[in-house]
Amino acid sequence: METIIQQILYVAAAIVFAVACRSFHNRFIQKLGWLALLGASYLIGYFISGTHAGGVVVVGGWFMVPWLEIIFRVRRLRFPIKSEVKHRFPPSREVFPELSDLSSEAEDDGFVEVGDTGWQFSQTDYFMRLFYHAEKRTQAAIALAQQGDFGFSYVSLTSRTAGGITFTTTNYPFAATMKYSPKQRLNRFTHAVSFSDLLERHEYFLQHEGVRLEDLALQDTEYLHAYIERDMSVQIDHNITAGVIEPTGNGEFRYSWRGCIFLYWQVLKDMLRV
């Protein structure tokens, strides 16, 4: 009995330590918390089975859950091939409290507000407030994605060359759910602490890619929403060609089995990164 109590305390201590680490804003401490959670899972399997193999099986369960979610839920979903990006009224302050502060940060960095827009993609509702910086020839988008009671916000900065190549820097918190076309270059910077921080990383991204200011195309602010719609269409067409998604009729598509494997790999990379 005493041994069982000790085992429970070991597991409880590991879980408490994991939760405490995950509450920190430092990403390295957060990673330590994730490792502690895996350690607690291993101890549970080990104590129940009495073998190291049991511990490994329980840890492996964390990596199998996403795959089951993908094949039993995501593959059954249907998504629109074409999404109309149009004017939207902004969400309430209770729903999107960061919108005002992020808008002020964008304006402080010289961006001018263009308007609010959005679209629906399957069960997810997207809202975007668009900005443009004429001198930098760069578009900014402050976005909120909502699916039921779950929602998250992110910021994206996009510059387009005269040759039709788009360069985007974003703090979007999750891995891409589809491949990007050869003319779409993405730079994820999930640890940006401010709008200025993200802008600085975007400018470094352009320099690293050898893109000069004169290479960037001027954008018509009246059609920023149309550029977003075009970018989505290009990405979807590319993924149909690549076999990641497949049309199902009625203007919809679903993930192919190849696409399911792609999604699973994306989730694994995020899990290992976190």
What tens digit of pLDDT does each residue of 57-77 get? 777 777 788 889 999 988 998
State the pLDDT at residue 27.
64
Residue type for 108, please?
D
Which burial class, exposed, middle or buried, applies to 68 when counting CB atoms under 10 A from its CB (0-12, 13-18, 19+)? Answer: exposed
**pLDDT of 144 higher than 80:** yes
**pLDDT of 194 higher than 70:** yes
Beta strand spans in 58-183 (E)? 79-80, 86-87, 112-121, 124-133, 138-147, 150-160, 166-170
Would you call 207 helix, strand, or coil by DSSP?
Answer: helix
pLDDT tens column, 156-169:
999 999 888 999 99
Stretch 212-225: mean pLDDT, rounded?
92
Average pLDDT of the chain is 87
State the pLDDT at residue 199.
96
Stretch 73-95: mean pLDDT, rounded?
89
Range in 29-38, 143-152, 218-227, 261-270 with the lowest mean pLDDT = 29-38
State the pLDDT at residue 100.
93
- Cβ atoms of 116 and 130 closer than 8 Å: yes
Nearest Cα to 241, choosing from 77, 70, 81? 81
Q: Tokens representing 159?
A: 């510059």
Confidence band for 54, pLDDT divided at 50, 70 and 90: confident
pTM above 0.85, yes or no: no
State the pLDDT at residue 25.
67
- Cβ atoms of 14 and 39 closer than 8 Å: yes
CA 249 to CA 77: how far, in whole Å?
Answer: 13
State the pLDDT at residue 22.
67
Confidence band for 26, pLDDT divided at 50, 70 and 90: low
Q: Tokens representing 164?
A: 């039709």
Confidence band for 147, pLDDT divided at 50, 70 and 90: confident
